[in-house]
Amino acid sequence: MGGLNTYGYVGGNALSRVDPLGLATWQGWARSISLGPFTREEYDLFSDCIDDLKQHIKVIVDYGGVSLGAIAQQWYAVFDDHFDYPNAMGFAGPAFSYSAGAAGIGNAGLPLVGWGASYSRTRIGSAESVGWSVVRGIGAGVGVSVGASSVEMLPSEKCCD
């Protein structure tokens, strides 16, 4: 009864994401810039469509930590907020992340803006994202960081089924 995509309830990725309780998911574009121990991440996220509405939020996280390298990247992020109904304030509070990635490394090691890959585990407030992402950017880095987030509520959108 869920349609043709039998893995839609886990964002099409049944190997790395499970959702036995049917909890809320947030998806959207993310970007970050990291230089040594400092990282800033910005997320533009939409919730699942519930009661014919998608919530829209912008989350900014400033981190400090232990890391090597420098990288600027953009990717498509997916978070579970661990609530059964979208809760934007689930993204408020402390943040923790560990990640490794590289993008845009050209021939002979010359940096070019291009595609790459990143693995990360990020927790912002009570929301969590884990797994591999295809990224677009430049640079390479690996690190562990802690920080704090701010959440801006944007206008909700009606869903069209």
Distance CA 6, CA 12 (A): 8
Whether 2 has a pLDDT exceeding 50, the answer reads: no
Q: pLDDT value at position 61?
A: 97
Q: Which residue has the higher pLDDT, 18 or 72?
A: 72
Whether 97 has a pLDDT exceeding 90, the answer reads: yes
Domain count for the chain, please give it.
Answer: 1
Asked whether residue 4 is assigned to any structural domain, the reply reads: no
Asked whether residue 114 is assigned to any structural domain, the reply reads: yes
Q: pLDDT value at position 152?
A: 93
CA quadruple 85, 157, 152, 39: dihedral positive or negative? positive
Q: pLDDT value at position 31?
A: 96
Structural domain harbouring 49: 24-155
**Measured CA distances, 74 to 30, 33, 49 (Å):** 6, 9, 24
Provide mean pLDDT across the span 35-63. 93
Q: What angle do CA 81, 62, 65 make, to 5 degrees?
A: 100
Please state the pTM of the whole predicted model: 0.82
